Amino acid sequence: MDRAAHLLWDDPPKIFEDTFASALSGCADEAALRARLDARSAALAAMAGPNLAQSLFIFARSLVTMRARYVEDELAEAIKRGVAQYVILGAGLDSLAHRRPELANALRVFEVDHPVTQAWKRARLHEPNLTTPVATENLVRG
């Protein structure tokens, strides 16, 4: 949800552009995403106060997007050095293999995660008719 929120509502320039984040958020549309994030923020605000809650959510969204950008920048450098395989441990809702078709000939992606998480993600990706352009393998852990 943080990646989707960053893409939708943070000012440009974007730190990280995950165009699949909204589809993977589990929310039907932008209004549903806003409602879910508002509910999450309200729950935290009830415990910590509204100012702290807002600051924490901005910090968390920034951390998520900066980490994703850093990892993908480092991956790009590794590919230049000849790395041809990439393992994502705890892949969760990572969308690299789905939104970076230019990597299909250069990189084999292994996603390691719980079978339920992987099944949910694949189902979400099929709903908007999104494809998987990069050669991926599901390595699930129960």
> Is the pLDDT assigned to residue 133 strictly greater than 70?
no
* Pairwise CA distance, residues 42 & 2, whole Å: 16
Strands (E), 23-130: 85-89, 108-113
CA-to-CA dists, residue 3 to 13, 16, 92, angstroms: 14, 8, 13
- Model confidence at 79, pLDDT cuts 50, 70, 90, reads very high
What is the pLDDT at residue 142? 42
Give pLDDT tens digits for 109-131. 999 999 999 999 988 887 755 54
Give pLDDT tens digits for 89-111. 999 999 998 888 889 889 999 99
Query: What is the helix, strand, coil percentage profile of the chain, to 5?
Result: 55, 10, 30
* Pairwise CA distance, residues 118 & 107, whole Å: 20
Give pLDDT tens digits for 14-60. 999 998 898 888 888 899 999 999 999 899 999 999 999 889 989 99
